[in-house]
Amino acid sequence: MSDSTRTIAARATPPGTGGIGIIRLSGPDCLRIAHKLTGHQLNPREVTPTRFHSKGGDTLDHGIAILFKAPASYTGEDVLELHCHGGPVILDSVLAEVTVLGAELARPGEFTERAFLNGKMDLAQAEAVVDLINSQTETAAKCALRSLEGKFSEKITDLCVNLRELRVFIEANIDFSDEPVDSIENKEIKKKIKEFSGIIGELIDRSTPGELLSTGAEVVLIGAPNAGKSSLLNALARAERAIVTATPGTTRDTLEATISLEGLPIRLTDTAGLRESDDEIEAEGMRRAITAAQRADLVLEVRDDTQPDPIGLKTEGQDSAQKKKIVVLNKCDLSGRSFGELKNQDGCPAVAVSATNGEGIDSLERMLQLELGYRGEREDTIMARRRHIEAMQRAHSHLDQAINQFKSTDLLAEEIRLAQNALGEITGEVTVEDLLGDIFSTFCIGK
């Protein structure tokens, strides 16, 4: 866990060159370091144009310094921002100088971890900071911002408060030994448990796409040579990304294109056609195709509908049984099959398209969203992490258990307490240090 007696420092702007680059510090030594580095006594929230000096008196750069006094800062501690010229050499030299003056290099996520530890934000909001930075689409950014503003946390906190009140009431007032199980009071408690369980269920429903939104989905196109995989990637990307020719074996290596499907980021990977081959390069291409398919959230199996028999693609090591798959019958402009959704093929959803004239692509896009569990852009989507969803599912199942515990006050209260704790993990009200380490280590340095 972060030690607040240390003053930490890191670049807050991305690596590379830019007009300006910012070094950020947080901790008790900010004022002293600022004075040594600039020669100025900084006033809080005032922009001070200054030179940054080395200990030996050399000027490292000209820039501005801004001090945010605790607790009115991002981390809740004294925070110092040094705005320098945005070149890597200059920023490295200023960063090196502040470490000479006593600051330590920050670990990934340490600024935000301190903000959490100092009560500036809860855990779900801290995670939303990363999600906002990493958002790849406008929808993802909007959802992350809503979480950062605390909309999701508020709902969870309300539920925690309600569950706590209910538990306290049960512990203080209910004794099953002298009360009939179907008393008015018990019915009322049951009703409340069901109501809270319903709210959690609804939050879970709204959260699934949020989780997808933050990471996006990996979709891999596989199929026999010449089936039209590259053409399909181009059709979905609305751009001529992959080379298309009539020669089977055109695509040799994997190729990626990112598309946004109603706000859902999807990384599409085109692959080499799968067939028996002695060619070393082609064999390597196919190996890569299979690896990509194994990694994918969903596989699009492209079949040439003018060819009567689909080529068996159950290539060694390919876990096709577990993988979500859509069968895409392509070249239906030639085969004459009507476009759009079809009956399941080999137990998988299927669709008839023409990659060259675009027919049926809209059906495929709808199917993709459905299979990936995305409900399209909606105002109420929650940007949730897997751990949030798991915690809500645990809370939900404890409340389900609670319904069956109307014989023992202790057991009933315990299930409600467990539900409340599970929800508390989301905001960090109830938390373990390991969890903090896991969460903040995934942040970038300087955040």
Torsion of CA 11, 15, 17, 18, to 10 degrees: -60
Contact of residue 354 among Mg ion, ligand GTP, none (CB under 5-8 Å per partner type): ligand GTP
Write out the residues near Mg ion by the rule CB under 5 A.
230, 250-251
The least distance separating ligand GTP from the CB of residue 337, rounded to whole angstroms, comes to: 11
Tell me the closest approach of the beta carbon of residue 261 to ligand GTP, in angstroms: 20
The item of ligand GTP, Mg ion, none sharing an interface with residue 249, based on CB under 5 to 8 Å by kind, is: ligand GTP
Binding flag, residue 355, ligand GTP (CB under 6 A): yes
Query: Closer CB to ligand GTP, residue 47 or residue 334?
Result: 334
| DSSP state for residue 89 in the 8-state scheme | H
Q: How far apart are CA 403 and CA 102, in angstroms?
A: 57
- The position carrying tokens 């199980």 is 181
List 86's β-bridge partners, or say none: 18
Considering only 109, 209, 265, 273, the residue that binds ligand GTP (CB under 6 A) is 273
- Bridge-based pairing of strands 79-86 and 59-68 is antiparallel
Angle at 102 between CA 96 and CA 107, to 5 degrees: 70
CA distance linking residue 327 with residue 295, whole number of Å: 18
- The distance of Cα 319 from the centroid of its chain, to the nearest Å, equals 25
Task: Work out what residue 228 binds among ligand GTP, Mg ion, none; the CB cut-off runs from 5 to 8 Å by kind.
Answer: ligand GTP
The Cα–Cα gap between 163 and 416 comes to 7
269 sits near ligand GTP (criterion: CB under 6 A): no
**Residue 32 backbone dihedrals phi, psi, to 5 degrees:** -65, -45
Is residue 227 near ligand GTP by the rule CB under 6 A?
A: yes
**Residue 76 interacts with ligand GTP (CB under 6 A): yes or no:** no
DSSP 377-404: S-TT-----HHHHHHHHHHHHHHHHHHT
Residues 230-259 touching ligand GTP, rule: CB under 6 A, are 230-231, 244-246, 248-251
Residue 228 engages ligand GTP in binding (rule: CB under 6 A): yes
334 binds ligand GTP per the rule CB under 6 A = yes
Structural Rg of the chain based on CA atoms = 28
Q: How far is the CB of 332 from ligand GTP (least distance, A)?
A: 7
Question: Does 120 sit near ligand GTP (CB under 6 A)?
Answer: no
Nearest by Cα to 37 from 8, 16, 58, 7: 58
Interface with ligand GTP (CB under 6 A), residue total: 24
The interface region with ligand GTP, picked from 77-85, 106-114, 219-227, 371-379 by CB under 6 A, is 219-227
Q: Which stretch binds ligand GTP (CB under 6 A): 119-127, 181-189, 313-321, 327-335?
A: 327-335
Please report whether residue 381 would count as binding ligand GTP according to CB under 6 A.
no
- Candidate residues 333, 371, 415, 425; the one interacting with ligand GTP per rule CB under 6 A: 333
Contacts of 396 (CB under 8 A, 6+ apart): 197, 200, 201, 204, 419
Residues binding ligand GTP (CB under 6 A): 223, 225-231, 244-246, 248-251, 272-273, 330-331, 333-334, 354-356
